[in-house]
Chains A and B, each alone.
Chain A
Amino acid sequence: MAGLEIKSVSKTFGTVRTADSLSLSVEPGEIVAVFGPSGGGKTVLLRMIAGMFEPDEGDILIGGRSIVGAAPERRSIGMAFQNFALFPHMTARDNIASGLRKKRGADAAARVQTISRLLKIEHVLGHVPRELSNGQKQRTALARALVGNPEVLLLDDPLRNVDAKLRYEMRLELPNLLRRGEAAVLYVTQDYREAMAIADRIAVLTAGRFEQVASPEEIYARPASVAVARLFGDPSINLAEIVPFVEHGTVFATISGARVLLGAADALPGDRPYWLGVRPEDLGISLLGGGDAMPARVLAITPMHEKVVLLLRLEDGKEWLASLRPDALKLAAEDSVFVRFAQEAVQLFDRETGLRVSLSHRRQAA
């Protein structure tokens, strides 16, 4: 039985449809990241689940019963807010204990103790929020959300306001912490790395709709649309506008004057426009031309320790990014290079609908 079920939920503010028939189900013990650009409707979705406003249409179920119209305190939800939302006039201990039905007694004290040990904030339990560092505030807010063992956990971009080092640590710690209580976890974030590090599945939310709901690997390797492909990856995917053509039973496309082999022809309609996408790390750079290599000029080189990012200009004037291992090639700006990529690295998207076109089967993905 699903811990959290969202069924065709819609919400309109004025003329803006911030949630457009959203459906999603999260199992107990599962972490689903809701990822998307700001203004995509992530926070609105969380707030509808938390009961801060009600959906116009659709239903939300927790543990199988509908919670639409129920008061927030009757929903069995733990929530961590982006701005922490700690109670400034209470100590960290009282903040955490407020998440318990029974706030006093040995049992409550023991549970507060257990969760604060897990989150490493035992030593600051007597402090009020303004005496805590941002990291401790965020851990206190998480402890408060977790302590009552809610059926559903909502995390609204909890790592937004903490520094990079702590964010990295928390990315490692959070999955274990969140899975402890068998809660269905919805984790909102604007950082695709965070989504990929923490979640079992990622729901990509743009303009009030789920573009794709799938595992992190699936989303990275087979994005459902060109919009999703653009959101995942740093540096972001290279895209070229192509119109494939068939010669001798094989599909080719021309990119920047070079003829690129796409695969054996069958069902792919030849004269339709597509986006061709190649991830920067799938580009091969060499100093030797020939074959289907595209000549390019290096515009800039950004060393990033574990990799080097090249900004390239192709002959048709388009700029592409390539990501290389730092020891691969010694290059300088203005060098002339040749760009290659393997047939398997190519992703195709219909230029009109933006949807993924599967190359192996040459059918439009559902």
Chain B
Amino acid sequence: MEHESLAGRIFRGAALTLILVFFMFPIVWILLMSFQTNEQILRIPPRILFEPTLANYEALISGQLRTAAGNLEITFMRNLWNSFVLSSGAVVLALLLGVPAAYAFARFKFRLGETIAFTLLSFRFAPPLLVLLPLSLYYQELGLNDTYVGIVWVYQLIALPLILWIVRGYFEDISPDIEHAYRLAGHSWSEAFTRIAVPLAGPGIAAAGLLSFIFCWNNFIFALILASADKQPVTVGALAFVTASGIQYGQIAAAIVLSVTPTLLLALYAQRYLVEGLSLGAVKG
């Protein structure tokens, strides 16, 4: 690095700036938009300098949207809460199911084991629309349409394979001898699982949980079809800003900022785990 020529340094700086601008500009623009009124946003040419307003956030939090066509009830805070309930519910369920399953796939060779594991992963390949139509018919029959349980269940298609495959890699990295040693010391199979395997796979489990939380949070299509306004997460709820009197850009921007913030904070907090988790246990300790 020290021996880099001046030209090299300049080129590197320029390239980094270009990439940073490319990826960061939309986010910064959204952030700026969220503090502007619709009129300010639609001005041509747009301006960087403006008089900031908190009106968008006020409207979202109070649930009252004033448009040219009159007052409109919006349920954004409810949507945010729904997103939280659905995503964490889905992740908790997927962890309860996926971690023991991942352990079984990692430790035991059984008939059709690989086939089952791959089938679970293949849920991630299938386009969601393919399953949604039949699924919504089933859900109507079963009374699961527009229920938290129904959506948490369908979110397992997102969360479970992810957790299963990431955590499996972590379990495979733990030397079986460590568990044998614990069992020989007089502990049962389940104690070896809960006291040795799970703590040692902890970073992987955390990363997998976080990733599936983010994927669930960002999901749009499942909730769009299977949930009504009452149970909708923010991703679907944002559609409410496309009103009869026009698109409420300011509120959309504020809604995006509010809905991105929790996952962003989570990701920043667990950055280290995320990188480790995404390398699927390739970095051995």
Contact = CB atoms under 8 A, between A and B. Distances in A.
Interface in B162-193: 175-178, 180-189
Contact of A89 (B180, B184, B186, B199): B199
Contacts, number: 58
A87 B178 contact: yes
A221 interface: no
A144 B177 contact: no
Given A81-B177, A88-B285, A89-B200, A50 B184 contact: yes
B278 to A, nearest CB: 22
Contacts of B183: 51, 71-73
**SS of A interface (majority):** loop
A208 interface: no
A85 B175 contact: yes
A226 interface: no
- Interface of chain B: mostly helix, strand, loop or mixed: helix
A71 B186 CA distance: 9
Given A89-B199, A89-B200, A52 B180 contact: yes
Given A89-B200, A98-B185, A72 B177 contact: no
Nearest to B188: A73
A71 B188 contact: yes
Contact of B180 (A50, A78, A144, A148): A50
A81 B181 CA distance: 8
B188 A85 contact: no
Nearest to A80: B181
Contact of A85 (B181, B186, B187, B285): B181
B257 interface: no
A190 to B, nearest CB: 18
B185 A99 contact: yes
Interface in A93-108: 98-101
A246 to B, nearest CB: 58
Interface in A9-64: 50-52
A336 interface: no
A72 B186 CA distance: 8
A71 B180 contact: no
Contacts of A98: 182, 185, 187
Given A83-B177, A85-B177, A72 B200 contact: no
B227 to A, nearest CB: 41
Contacts of A213: none
In the complex, which of the residues B176, B178, B187, B199 has the most CB atoms of chain A within 10 Å of its own CB atom?
A: B178
Contact of B185 (A51, A89, A148): A148
A77 interface: yes
Contacts of A148: 185-186
A73 B200 contact: no
B224 interface: no
Contacts of A88: 178, 200, 285
B180 to A, nearest CB: 6
Interface in B6-53: none
Contacts of A73: 183-188
B77 interface: no
Given A52-B180, A85-B178, A88-B200, A144 B185 contact: yes
A72 B180 contact: yes
B196 interface: yes
A87 B198 CA distance: 12
A112 interface: no
A85 B176 CA distance: 9
Nearest to B285: A88
Contacts of B186: 73, 99-101, 148
A71 B185 CA distance: 12
Interface string B191-227: 0000010011000000000000000000000000000
5 nearest interchain CB pairs?
A85-B177, A72-B183, A85-B181, A99-B185, A98-B185
21 contacts: A50-B184, A51-B183, A52-B180, A71-B183, A71-B188, A72-B180, A72-B183, A72-B184, A73-B184, A73-B187, A81-B180, A81-B181, A85-B180, A86-B178, A87-B182, A88-B178, A89-B199, A99-B185, A141-B181, A144-B185, A148-B185
Interface of A: 50-52, 71-73, 75, 77-79, 81, 83, 85-89, 98-101, 141, 144, 148
Given A86-B178, A141-B181, 10 more contacts: A71-B188, A73-B183, A81-B177, A81-B180, A83-B177, A85-B178, A87-B178, A87-B196, A88-B178, A148-B185
